[in-house]
Amino acid sequence: MLNVLDLHTYYGDSHVLQGVTMHVDSGRVTAVLGRNGVGKTTLCRSLVGLTPARAGRIVFNDTEITRLPPHQICGLRISLVPQGRRIFRSLTVEEHLAIAGRTRGSLAGVSEKREHRPGWDVRKVYDVFPRLSERRGHRGDELSGGEQQMLAIARALVANPVLLVMDEPTEGLAPMLVAEVGKLIRRLKDEGTSILLVEQNASFAVKTADYVHVMSKGRIVHSSEPAALWANGDIRTQFLGVPRVDPPVARD
């Protein structure tokens, strides 16, 4: 459903993605693993249009989206759960869900609005995250870190995505909440949502994903089923380091 072909992305002169080729299969959880600074977040940013790639192609269900602006990519039902949550500080929980739920990119908007397939809306999001329902009148900057992460996921879900891109959704979360996120990902998969899970937390990703890409220095260096990756000691030590638990302090 998503094919990335020889993608090159720069920040100014800095060549971050140096020819990434990878794919996400429909209805599966695909993980991208790698150490800090190998370009995982840049890959997410290029996918959703925030840092357009300078060369290469991104094809989503036969549509080339490489150079589309972010709101149009969002309109094609690709949603992002960004690293660091990026909650709007002055918006209430309810407003977050309202702007994310009702807006559609102009390209896809016309055809997709009519299509009433069962999916995520505000009510379902509140069912899954009762805590957000309790806090619906609170502003983004009044929420706890865990609540903000739930809201970041909820904000992506109300757009009813076909592909959910999650950039380190477990970062800085307590173990119990990490387990919750894992459960939610499996549920989304069962409902037919495709997921791209970008993680530093290798053990979490390997447990959750159906397919794994390993990234190093702006390239994909290994792609396989998670079991095969886990069995490959060289890859594990060379590119992932020893799986570790992140410190409880959020880094941003």
Partner 1 sequence: MIYIITQFLNGLFSAALLFLIAGGLTLVFGVMRIVNIAHGSFYMLGVYVAYTVIARTDSLLLGTIAAVLLVAAVGLAVERLFLRRFASRPLPQMMMTMGFALVFRDAAFMIWGGDPFTLPYPALLAGSVETRDIVFPAYRLFVMLVAAVVGLLLWVLNEHTLIGAKLRATVDDPEMAAATGINVALVSGGVFAAGAALAAFGGVMGGPILGGYAGMDLDLLPLAFVVVIIGGMGSLKGALVGSIAVGLIDNFGKALVPELSYFTLFAPMVIVLAIKPTGLYGRG
Asked if residue 30 lies in contact with residue 44, where contact means CB atoms within 8 angstroms, the answer is no
Helix (H, G, I), strand (E, B) or coil at 227: helix
Interaction of residue 161 with partner 1, rule CB under 8 A? no
Among 17, 74, 209, 220, which residue sits at the site for partner 1 (rule: CB under 8 A)? 74
Q: Of 165, 160, 246, 173, which Cα lies nearest the Cα of 203? A: 246
Task: State in angstroms the smallest separation of the CB of 80 from partner 1.
Answer: 5
Per CB under 8 A, contacts with partner 1 among 89-148 are 89-91, 95, 98-100, 102-106, 140
Contacts with 80 (C-beta within 8 Å, 6 or more apart), sequence order:
44, 47, 48, 74, 156, 165, 166, 167
Contacts with 186 (C-beta within 8 Å, 6 or more apart), sequence order:
29, 208
Beta strand pairing call for 163-167 and 78-81 = parallel
Interaction of residue 10 with partner 1, rule CB under 8 A? no
Residue with smaller CB distance to partner 1, 100 or 188: 100
Residue with smaller CB distance to partner 1, 161 or 182: 161
Stretch that binds partner 1, among 1-9, 69-77, 190-198, 240-248 (CB under 8 A): 69-77
> What are the start-end ranges of the E strands in 136-243?
163-167, 194-199, 211-216, 219-224
Interaction of residue 243 with partner 1, rule CB under 8 A? no
Among 159, 166, 181, 209, which residue sits at the site for partner 1 (rule: CB under 8 A)? 159
Interaction of residue 169 with partner 1, rule CB under 8 A? no
| Whole-angstrom distance, CA of residue 109 vs CA of residue 90 | 27
Residue with smaller CB distance to partner 1, 68 or 185: 68
220 token code pair: 């994909």
Residue with smaller CB distance to partner 1, 110 or 231: 110
Among 8, 28, 57, 71, which residue sits at the site for partner 1 (rule: CB under 8 A)? 71
Asked if residue 9 lies in contact with residue 17, where contact means CB atoms within 8 angstroms, the answer is yes
Interaction of residue 153 with partner 1, rule CB under 8 A? no
**Residues within the interface to partner 1 (CB under 8 A):** 48-50, 69-71, 74-75, 80, 82, 86, 88-91, 95, 98-100, 102-106, 140, 155, 159
